[in-house]
Amino acid sequence: MTAPVGKDLERVRAEAQEAVRRLREQRPTLDDLSIDVILTNARSHYAWQDKPVSTELLHRLYEITAGGPTSMNTCPARFIFVTSDAGKQRLAKSLKAKNIDKMMDAPVTAIIAHDLEFWRDLPFLFPHEDRRPHFEGKPEHSETTAFRNGTLQGAYFMIAARALGLDVGAMSGFSNEIVDQEFFAGTTLKSNFLCNLGYADESALFQKLPRFPFDKVCSFA
Ligand SMILES: Cc1cc2nc3c(=O)[nH]c(=O)nc-3n(C[C@H](O)[C@H](O)[C@H](O)COP(=O)(O)O)c2cc1C
């Protein structure tokens, strides 16, 4: 564990505060079109152009995703990019029939997983205090934390992909047990959901479905 102390700590804190101030000044908000691209008018996709996604772009996608917050900076998500024919065949075994073509035709399908023993890395991720005792020997708490934060990271991943000009199509219509047997046997990783990535063929889209208005689902307390 190497956390800065004393003068070093004062310096890194001042630098972090200044960096946030500068960023807020440079870009106080995203414009409406950018917000459309990442959320408001973004769509889930089901068919794909025959256009590859570069490994460099997947690296950039991970780096942006990793900037999102998780509790205690636990970062439990793990991303397995399935791109090979052999990998796709293994993944196909787990899928509901209607999802097979959507996955097979996508240049990349990410398995969004989480590591139930994420807490072993806390000395690196949260170095100023040893928080491993919060999780060690507490599998239920570890699992809840891994699932909650891994799901959030999966959402950051989809938004980051859209921000980079990629299209996404998440899928939960598959057997987690089969994916876990195929890809994570003998490890502490568990699958959460799948996410197809690529450049969409939008001719497969139907209309955007309604969302609830503010008053139905938001309240004040
Ligand atoms: C976690 C998750 C799982 C999903 N699973 C599937 C799936 O298995 N098959 C499918 O065709 N669509 C799946 N979808 C797509 C949703 O049905 C879609 O996001 C929703 O209808 C809203 O459409 P829109 O994103 O285009 O606005 C999934 C989406 C998410 C976020």
For residue 17, which phi and psi values (nearest 5 degrees)? -65, -40
Averaged confidence pLDDT in the chain: 97
Residue 204 has pLDDT above 90, yes or no: no
This prediction has a pTM of 0.97
Which residues form the domain of 88? 44-202
Residue 2 has pLDDT above 90, yes or no: no
Calculate how far, in angstroms, residue 172's C-alpha sits from the geometric centre of ligand 1.
8
What residue owns the CA closest to ligand 1's atom 4? 171
Q: Can you give the pLDDT at residue 156?
A: 99
CA–CA separation, 182 vs 174, rounded Å?
13
CA–CA separation, 4 vs 9, rounded Å?
5
Calculate how far, in angstroms, residue 129's C-alpha sits from the geometric centre of ligand 1.
39
**68 lies in a domain?**
yes
Check if 17 has its Cβ closer than 6 Å to any atom of ligand 1: no
**189 lies in a domain?**
yes
CATH of the domain at 68: 3.40.109.10
**218 lies in a domain?**
no
The pLDDT of 98-102, averaged and rounded, is: 95
What residue owns the CA closest to ligand 1's atom 13? 171
Write the CB contacts of 141 (distance below 8 Å, at least 6 apart in sequence). 134, 135
Q: Can you give the pLDDT at residue 182?
A: 98
What percentage of the chain exceeds 70 in pLDDT? 100
**186 lies in a domain?**
yes
**52 lies in a domain?**
yes
Q: How many domains does the chain have?
A: 1
Check if 41 has its Cβ closer than 6 Å to any atom of ligand 1: no
**163 lies in a domain?**
yes
Calculate how far, in angstroms, residue 101's C-alpha sits from the geometric centre of ligand 1.
15
Walk across the sheet containing 108-115 and list its strands: 77-82, 108-115, 189-198, 167-171
105-136 pLDDT tens trace: 999 999 999 999 999 999 999 999 999 999 99
The DSSP bridge pattern shows strands 189-198 and 108-115 to be: antiparallel
Cβ(79)–Cβ(108) below 8 Å: no
- pLDDT bucket at 1, cuts 50 / 70 / 90: low
Cβ(173)–Cβ(85) below 8 Å: no
Check if 149 has its Cβ closer than 6 Å to any atom of ligand 1: no
Calculate how far, in angstroms, residue 15's C-alpha sits from the geometric centre of ligand 1.
41
Calculate how far, in angstroms, residue 115's C-alpha sits from the geometric centre of ligand 1.
24
**53 lies in a domain?**
yes
Cα–Cα nearest to 115, from 192, 194, 190: 190
46-99 pLDDT tens trace: 999 999 999 999 999 999 999 999 999 999 999 999 999 999 999 999 999 999
**103 lies in a domain?**
yes
Higher pLDDT, 2 or 178: 178
Q: What is the DSSP string of 8-40?
A: HHHHHHHHHHHHHHHHHHH-SS--HHHHIIIII
Q: Can you give the pLDDT at residue 173?
A: 97
CA–CA separation, 155 vs 168, rounded Å?
11
